[in-house]
Structure 1
Amino acid sequence: MSMFSIFHISGSAVSAQSQRLNAVASNMANADTVAGPDGQAYKARQVVFQSVMAQNGTDQTDVGVQVVGVQENQTPGRRVHDPSHQLADADGYVTYSNVNSVEEMVNMISASRSYQNNLEVMGTAKSLLLKTLQMGQG
């Protein structure tokens, strides 16, 4: 594996964590939304990753992390009895999204740290490559 593969691997991980942060932001923005006119409340979304490994005899630039999809959490939303609410159902219940704010904050911190760590890996690899070039000049 070449040093340049490190940039591809870390870059793909940064891209994947960026998508994860976007999903968390969307979830947090919709944490207190209620069911719309269709009766369906917002469902939390989670980004699904997959590691990509080099196959024998294939190009090393194919290694890294890829997003294979975004899954909706199928847990039912929280229901609150509020007959005066304009979106209450026939029984007087309002259905809110199934977003758990605490879980989303943990996901955000985890994704942010992973993002930062991968940027540090790229910075360290860059520094090592520059030092190698400087050694060759001397």
Structure 2
Amino acid sequence: MSLFDSIGIAGTGVTVYRKWLDAVSDNIANMNNAAPTNGAAFQARYVVAQEAADGKGAQVGGIELGSAEGRMVHEPNHPNADANGYVRYPDINLSDQMGSLIMAQRGYQANLTVVDRAKTAYEAALQLGRS
């Protein structure tokens, strides 16, 4: 494996983890969005990672959506409340999302570190040629 391969593979990891971070941030931002009971709740997004087609790295294989059913909450004063006083909230757990956020952030940082170290090694190799 060359230095360029390691940069390319780590770059694919950066992309996957960035998409995961985007999905988690969307989930957290929308977890308190209430919908009428006759509509669908916000559906959480979950990134599905898979091996890249060329076998070098990873790629986003798709996005899975959470339940549109959500959870029913009794809030009779809410503008979206039905006749019985219920509204529909997304079924998103903040603790799970924060755990995912930490894992995605660490993976993102690790892949950026690989890119940085490979770049440093490549620059050192160039300096050897100049001597």
TM-score normalized with structure 1 length:
0.85
The alpha-carbon deviation at position 2 of structure 1 amounts to 1.8
Q: Does 1:42 align with 2:42?
A: yes
1:67 aligned onto 2:60: yes
Give the drift of 1:45.
0.7
70-79 vs 20-29, greater mean Cα deviation: 70-79
One-letter code aligned to 2:30: N
CA RMSD of aligned residues (A): 1.9
- Structure 1 residues 36 and 14: alpha-carbon distance in aligned structure 2, compared to 1, 3 A threshold: farther
Work out whether 1:104 is the aligned partner of 2:104.
Answer: no
- After TM superposition, the structure 1 = structure 2 runs for residues 1-138 of structure 1, keeping only pairs within 5 Å, are 1-36=1-36, 39-52=39-52, 54=54, 63-74=56-67, 76-138=69-131
> 1:93-127: per-residue Cα shift (whole Å, max 9, x none)?
21111111111111111111111110100111111
Q: Distance in 1 between matches of 2:36 and 2:82?
A: 11
Q: Which runs of no fewer than 5 residues in structure 1 stay unpaired? A: 55-61
Percent identical: 40
Aligned length: 131
2:119 & 2:74 partners in 1: Cα distance? 57
Q: Using the TM superposition, give the Cα deviation of residue 22 of structure 1 relative to its aligned residue in structure 2, in angstroms.
A: 0.8
Instruction: Kindly provide the amino acid, as one letter, of the partner of residue 79 in structure 2.
Output: Q
Q: Is contact 2:46–2:63 with CA below 8 Å preserved after alignment?
A: yes
Per mean C-alpha deviation after superposition, the further-off stretch among 28-37 and 112-121 is 28-37
Of 119-128 and 35-44, more deviation after overlay is shown by: 35-44
